[in-house]
Amino acid sequence: MPLASPAAIAPVERAFLLLEALNRHRTSTLAELAAATALPKSTVARLLETLIALGYVTRVSRSIGYRITDRVLALAAGVRFIDHLVHAAAGPMSAFTQRTGWPVYLGTVSDAVVLLRHTTAPESPLSFETAGYDLKFQIYESALGLAYLAFCAADERRSIIDAVVMRDGGKMPAAQRALLERRLAIVRERGYAFTRSNRSRRLNGMAVPIVRGQHVMGALTLRYPKRVMTEEQAAQRYGPELSALAREIAQQSFAGAPAP
């Protein structure tokens, strides 16, 4: 059940504050950490004992103080996954753009928001947009987000929708939720998600998920001016090739590792 609000839990906040302070220096004494975090020495000492017990911090000596351990690298495993996905996708995405001329974009979902991770827009003679990495898009407003949402696991989909609802004020009428589910069912049936611009001479998007096993790692979208082709024409001309590109990226990501 989702929390009523995203308020920070004070002990957790202090623990991460301490980890950040430890990360700034090779070693730090208790007094230095208390000064850096503006926390009482007694609080810092208790937090250090907990972090030592968990394996994230070690005590070097009384005079030298404390340092973080290699275990903290595990906290960045998700970031390394994204880097690995981008690395696997960059070459095939460039090849797609060279063949078709169209720019493609790679997006992932974090905190119920779509994050743009990579694009071949600078390589495309047909691109009408600047690159803009790490741009954020609302999940319902982009083909990337709809493709991800349609094909991810049902429990993940519910969690994302609940997060969006909470962020938007905590209410979604049953009829509106049913309409969204029908829209996502259509995406799953045809294999593509589309977004439409209401402005003249603007861009539409067609997106497909990047799926490995039962896990959706991200999504790809092809952006094109709405006056150039209809959704049906885009799906017929580029849908199979875009889906093949997504499968190639999924296969190259973590090649040889067991599917999740």
Following DSSP, what letter does each residue of 4-29 receive, concatenated? Answer: SS-PPPHHHHHHHHHHHHHHTSS-B-
Q: Say what the pLDDT of residue 2 is.
A: 43
Mean pLDDT score, 133-161: 85
> Is 98 a member of any domain?
yes
Quick: pLDDT tens for 40-88: 999 999 999 999 999 999 998 888 899 888 788 667 655 555 678 888 9
Q: Say what the pLDDT of residue 259 is.
A: 45
Mean pLDDT score, 1-14: 66
> Is 222 a member of any domain?
yes
Q: Say what the pLDDT of residue 187 is.
A: 95
Mean pLDDT score, 95-108: 94
Size of the chain, expressed as the number of residues it contains: 260
Q: Say what the pLDDT of residue 73 is.
A: 67
Helix (H, G, I), strand (E, B) or coil at 31: helix
> Is the pLDDT confidence value at 249 over 90?
yes
Q: Say what the pLDDT of residue 79 is.
A: 53
> Is the pLDDT confidence value at 121 over 90?
no
Who has greater pLDDT, 130 or 13? 13
Q: Looking at the structure, do residues 39 and 17 belong to the same domain, yes or no? A: yes
d(CA 212, CA 131) in angstroms, rounded, equals 27
Helix (H, G, I), strand (E, B) or coil at 176: helix
> Is 257 a member of any domain?
no
CB neighbour class for 241 (10 Å; exposed up to 12, middle 13-18, buried from 19)? middle
Q: Looking at the structure, do residues 81 and 16 belong to the same domain, yes or no? A: no
> Is 3 a member of any domain?
no
> Is the pLDDT confidence value at 258 over 50?
no
Domain count, the chain: 2
State both tokens at 68: 């973080």
CATH number for 63: 1.10.10.10
Q: Looking at the structure, do residues 161 and 61 belong to the same domain, yes or no? A: no
Q: Looking at the structure, do residues 85 and 163 belong to the same domain, yes or no? A: yes
User: Where does the pLDDT of residue 207 fall: very low under 50, low under 70, confident under 90, or very high at 90 and above?
Assistant: very high
The rounded mean pLDDT for the chain is 85
CATH number for 106: 3.30.450.40
pTM for the structure as a whole: 0.67
> Is the pLDDT confidence value at 238 over 70?
yes
> Is the pLDDT confidence value at 199 over 70?
no
Q: Say what the pLDDT of residue 5 is.
A: 45
Q: Looking at the structure, do residues 33 and 135 belong to the same domain, yes or no? A: no
> Is 111 a member of any domain?
yes
116-to-28, 82, 139, 153 alpha-carbon distances in Å: 37, 11, 12, 21
The share of the chain scoring above pLDDT 70, in percent, equals 85
d(CA 25, CA 102) in angstroms, rounded, equals 46
The amino acid occupying position 241 is E
Q: Looking at the structure, do residues 115 and 225 belong to the same domain, yes or no? A: yes
Of 43, 68, 93, which closes a domain? Answer: 68
Q: Looking at the structure, do residues 236 and 134 belong to the same domain, yes or no? A: yes
Strand partners, 206: 194, 222
Q: Say what the pLDDT of residue 188 is.
A: 95
Q: Say what the pLDDT of residue 141 is.
A: 81
> Is 115 a member of any domain?
yes
Distance between start and end Cα atoms, the chain: 24
Enclosing domain of residue 49? 10-68
Q: Looking at the structure, do residues 14 and 109 belong to the same domain, yes or no? A: no
Region for residue 154 given its phi and psi (left: phi exceeds 0; alpha: psi -120 to 50; beta: otherwise) = alpha
User: Where does the pLDDT of residue 227 fall: very low under 50, low under 70, confident under 90, or very high at 90 and above?
Assistant: confident
> Is 236 a member of any domain?
yes
Q: Looking at the structure, do residues 49 and 87 belong to the same domain, yes or no? A: no
Q: Looking at the structure, do residues 204 and 186 belong to the same domain, yes or no? A: yes
Q: Are strands 113-119 and 104-110 parallel, antiparallel or unpaired?
A: antiparallel
Asked if residues 217 and 108 have their Cβ atoms less than 8 Å apart, the reply is yes
Following DSSP, what letter does each residue of 41-87 receive, concatenated? Answer: HHHHHHHHHHHHHHTSEEEEETTTEEEE-GGGGGGGHHHHHHHHHHH
Q: Say what the pLDDT of residue 129 is.
A: 66
Of 21, 40, 68, which closes a domain? Answer: 68
Asked if residues 243 and 165 have their Cβ atoms less than 8 Å apart, the reply is no
234 CA to centre of own chain: 26
CA dihedral for 105, 224, 229, 138, sign (positive or negative): positive
d(CA 142, CA 78) in angstroms, rounded, equals 23
Mean pLDDT score, 173-178: 88
d(CA 162, CA 156) in angstroms, rounded, equals 10
